[in-house]
């Protein structure tokens, strides 16, 4: 939530910062702003709404400087307005900051500062920080920031510049991501890697408690007590092109179409179907650790939680380990039974989701073994978990998660089969069969994507419906939840996912010709059961869109529309059924003219509770 960026070097800082903000816009998009130092004055441009408004402002009134900071906002304290947009300055316009996070004690700080006759001009928690820095300022910005940080409670990634010290950016991190990009004669700060990829791949991931002073040719990282900290410079493998649309109309569509590659990349060098072997280098559990595991908790939010729900079927059926799945925001408050025999797996694309991070910390505090499934290298969750298995998806920019979901499923398949192999709960023959099925997934997804337009043709019939029901059973029940989530978040249509067997216990009352039902009806042990559920819907005048396996003739006579997907084993099927559900939501959203990549009220990375 919220993206920050800063630049110092010989390019025009306003350009670099603005381009960086464009890459960070998915983190928040209700207002944005840039501050630079020109001569010995601060120049600030801010505007409400998307970055195109700030762009107009910058065109109308350009600024040119070699140092600048910028922010794209997802409002927490104070409505989206120009006054509340960052950057924020002190009352004398000497110091200016951008901030991602929440200052929990801002109200008491504000009260104190107001008594000292410091004039506030916004409703934000952030403004207290800049007034405090000014209060402590005595010709040394770094020291003033250090003193200020000691008074803050909460989370922050901060970028600060001062008109009287125009050769440095000071930045600090506590529970919100912050990266320093190392260039030649220029340096950067940013909330994430993708903002800096066009300029450098050499990055320092700041740790909690780090405060850094950055000039164009030097980076010094210290802690809050002013002691030097040594931080490794990491070389990032992603390239700038991965964060571009590459000819697709939307990031979401590009990311859907990337899935054959991202799934394959996630499997590569980790599964060996001919030998019936899985080798996930990052996970170093010994066999005795695995035998000791009495149960697994899988914890995540939103789409990541849905991937977790699928994993329960895999851990229980393949590895015979009892598994519970929890929404992170519930897990941490419900006093779960945790001890050193419990493995807690946290799932997060961004690796920065506040609730998931808190769940991980709770698990660690209780002595659990911990494992993260993450997409972002160097993210907070990946650094704090004992082990991390990365999904090799590259940057996911569309706010609605697509390729990260199938990447997470890919990791869960491998992990469950690895555990099963080590616990000998599956035979080598069974392992080989599942691994072979997995190996074929990228090809099958590719095959389905070649007929993606058929989903568009069906979606056209339904774009004006106000409500949808999604039904699934067994391992595809979580997919019904995920399909409904995709539709509601990007097209603002009300949609509910249900376990199809639950229909008779209430939801069937909703069925009429105005309530389309998306039913996942792939071939499985319980295929006939879902067919019965479809018949029940049809008997009450409902309209059914079925997702079925290629070659299923029966389903066509039972449903109004069928989306055929390549057939696969029922346990493996969710990684394929996900694709038509994503496309269906996408095409409806496009036809309604919604903002597919940046749906209202959402942000990609939810770094506040």
Positions that interact with ligand F6R (CB under 6 A): 301-304, 348-350, 353, 356, 400-401, 485, 489, 605-606
Nearest approach in angstroms of CB 437 to ligand F6R is: 26
Please give the backbone phi and psi of residue 558, each rounded to the nearest 5 degrees, phi first.
-100, -20
Nearer to ligand F6R (CB atom), residue 197 or residue 400: 400
Spatial separation of the C-alpha atoms in residues 200 and 179, rounded to whole Å: 12
Q: How far is the CB of 77 from ligand F6R (least distance, A)?
A: 21
Quickly list DSSP for 240-298: GGGGS-TT-SSHHHHHHHTHHHHHHHHHTTTEETTTTEE--TT----HHHHHH--EEEE
Closer residue to ligand F6R (CB): 89 or 401: 401
Query: Cα separation of 106 and 207, whole Å?
Result: 23
- Residue closer to ligand F6R by CB (options 500, 603) is 603
* Three-class DSSP category at 77: coil
Q: Residues of 351-385 as b/e, b for ≥16 C-beta within 10 angstroms?
A: bbbbbbbbbbbbbbeeebbbbbbbbbbbbbbbebb
- Kindly name the residue from 312, 332, 486, 604 that is annotated as catalytic: 604
Q: Least CB distance from residue 249 to ligand F6R, whole Å? A: 18
Residue closer to ligand F6R by CB (options 349, 421) is 349
342 Cβ contact list (under 8 Å, min separation 6): 293, 294, 295, 296, 297, 363, 366, 368, 369
Q: Please, which residue, 125 or 489, has the CB nearer to ligand F6R?
A: 489
In angstroms, what is the minimal distance from the CB of 419 to ligand F6R? 22
CB of 506 to ligand F6R, least distance (A): 25
Strands (E), 443-490: 467-472
In 277-379, which ranges are continuous DSSP H helix?
287-292, 302-317, 328-331, 354-365
302/395 with CB nearer ligand F6R: 302
Distance in Å, CB of 22 to ligand F6R, minimum: 20
393 a catalytic residue: no
- Report CA dihedral (23, 29, 31, 32) to the nearest 10 degrees: -10
- Only one residue has tokens 């009495």, namely 294
Catalytic residue of the set 2, 171, 374, 393: 2
Query: Distance between CA atoms of 109 and 102, rounded to whole angstroms?
Result: 13
Contact (CB, 8 A) for 93 and 136: no
374 is catalytic: no
Q: Nearest approach, Cβ of 217 to ligand F6R (angstroms)?
A: 35
Task: Identify whether 87 is preceded by a cis peptide bond (ω within 30 of 0).
Answer: yes
CB nearer ligand F6R, residue 24 or residue 400: 400
Q: Of 129, 219, 231, nearest to 170 (Cα)?
A: 219
Cβ closest to ligand F6R, residue 48 vs residue 393: 393
Q: What's the token pair of residue 382?
A: 């990946």
Phi–psi pair at 250, nearest 5 degrees: -135, 155
Give me the residue whose beta carbon is nearest to ligand F6R.
Answer: 302
Q: How far is the CB of 469 from ligand F6R (least distance, A)?
A: 19
Which residue in the block uniquely carries the two structure tokens 């909690």? 208
Nearest distance, CB of residue 71 and ligand F6R, angstroms? 20
H or E element, residue 369: strand 369-374
Give 437 or 482: the residue with its C-beta nearer to ligand F6R.
482
CA 60 from centroid of its chain's CA atoms: 34
- CB of 88: closest distance to ligand F6R in angstroms? 27
Helices first, then strands: H and E counts in the chain:
19, 26
Which residue, 152 or 256, has its beta carbon nearer to ligand F6R? 256
Of 9 and 398, which CB lies nearer to ligand F6R in the complex structure?
398
Q: Which residues contact 79 (CB under 8 A, 6 or more apart)?
A: 123
* Residue 537 bridge partners (DSSP): none
Q: How far apart are CA 308 and CA 325, in angstroms?
A: 6
CB of 402 to ligand F6R, least distance (A): 8
Answer whether 189's CB lies under 8 Å from 179's CB: yes
Q: Are strands 179-182 and 169-174 parallel, antiparallel or unpaired?
A: unpaired
Helix axis angle for 477-491 and 302-317, nearest 10°, is: 170
Report d(CA 278, CA 280) in Å as an integer.
Answer: 6
Residues tagged active-site: 2, 604
């Amino acid at each position: 939530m919220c993206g920050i960026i800063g630049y110092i070097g010989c390019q025009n800082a306003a350009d670099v910062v603005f381009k960086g903000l464009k890459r960070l816009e998915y983190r928040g998009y209700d207002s944005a702003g840039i501050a630079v130092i020109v001569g010995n004055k601060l120049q600030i441009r801010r505007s409400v709404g998307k970055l195109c408004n700030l762009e107009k402002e910058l065109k109308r009134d350009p600024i040119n400087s070699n140092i600048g900071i910028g922010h794209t906002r997802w409002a927490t304290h104070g409505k989206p307005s120009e006054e509340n947009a960052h950057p924020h300055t002190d009352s004398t316009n000497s110091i200016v900051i951008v901030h991602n996070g929440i200052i929990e004690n801002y109200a008491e700080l504000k009260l104190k500062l107001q008594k000292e006759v410091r004039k506030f001009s916004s409703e934000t928690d952030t403004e207290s920080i800049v007034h405090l820095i000014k209060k402590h300022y005595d010709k040394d910005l770094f020291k003033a920031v250090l003193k200020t940080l000691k008074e803050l409670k909460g989370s922050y990634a901060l970028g600060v510049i001062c008109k009287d010290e125009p050769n440095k950016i000071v930045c600090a991190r506590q529970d919100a991501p912050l990266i320093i990009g190392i260039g030649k004669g220029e340096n950067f700060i940013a909330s994430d890697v993708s903002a800096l990829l066009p300029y450098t791949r050499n990055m320092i991931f700041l740790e909690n408690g780090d405060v850094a002073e950055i000039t164009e040719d030097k980076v010094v990282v210290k802690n809050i007590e002013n002691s030097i900290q040594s931080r490794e410079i990491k070389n990032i493998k992603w390239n700038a092109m991965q964060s571009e649309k590459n000819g697709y109309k939307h990031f979401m569509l590009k990311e859907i179409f990337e899935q054959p590659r991202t799934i394959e990349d996630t499997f590569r060098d980790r599964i060996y179907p001919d030998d019936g072997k899985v080798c996930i280098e990052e996970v170093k559990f010994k066999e005795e650790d695995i035998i000791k595991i009495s149960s697994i908790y899988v914890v995540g939010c939103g789409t990541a939680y849905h991937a977790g729900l699928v994993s329960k079927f895999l851990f229980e059926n393949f590895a015979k380990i009892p598994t519970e799945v929890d929404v992170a925001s519930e897990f941490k408050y419900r006093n779960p039974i945790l001890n050193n025999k419990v493995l807690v797996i946290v799932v997060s694309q961004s690796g920065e989701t506040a609730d998931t991070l808190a769940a991980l910390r709770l698990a660690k505090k209780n002595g659990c073994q911990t494992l993260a499934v993450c997409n972002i290298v160097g993210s907070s969750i990946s650094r704090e978990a004992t082990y991390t298995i990365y999904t090799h998806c590259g940057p996911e920019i569309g706010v609605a998660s697509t390729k990260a979901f199938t990447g997470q499923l890919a990791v869960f398949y491998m992990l469950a089969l690895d555990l099963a192999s080590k616990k000998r709960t599956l035979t080598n023959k069974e392992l080989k069969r599942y691994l072979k099925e997995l190996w074929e997934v990228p090809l099958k997804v590719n095959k389905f994507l070649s007929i993606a337009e058929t989903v568009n043709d069906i979606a056209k019939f339904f774009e004006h419906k106000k409500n949808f029901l999604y039904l699934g059973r067994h391992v595809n029940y979580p997919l019904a939840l995920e399909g409904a989530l995709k539709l509601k978040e990007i097209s603002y249509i009300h949609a509910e996912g249900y376990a199809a067997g639950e229909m008779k216990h209430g939801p069937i009352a909703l069925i009429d010709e105005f309530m389309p039902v998306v039913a996942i009806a792939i071939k499985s042990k319980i295929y006939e059961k879902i067919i019965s559920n479809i018949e029940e819907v049809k008997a009450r005048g409902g309209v059914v869109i079925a997702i079925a396996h290629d070659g299923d003739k029966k389903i066509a006579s039972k449903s109004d529309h069928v989306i055929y997907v390549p057939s696969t084993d029922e346990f493996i099927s969710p990684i394929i059924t996900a694709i038509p559900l994503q496309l269906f939501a996408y095409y409806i959203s496009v036809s309604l003219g919604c903002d597919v990549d940046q749906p209202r009220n959402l942000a990609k990375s939810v770094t506040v509770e």
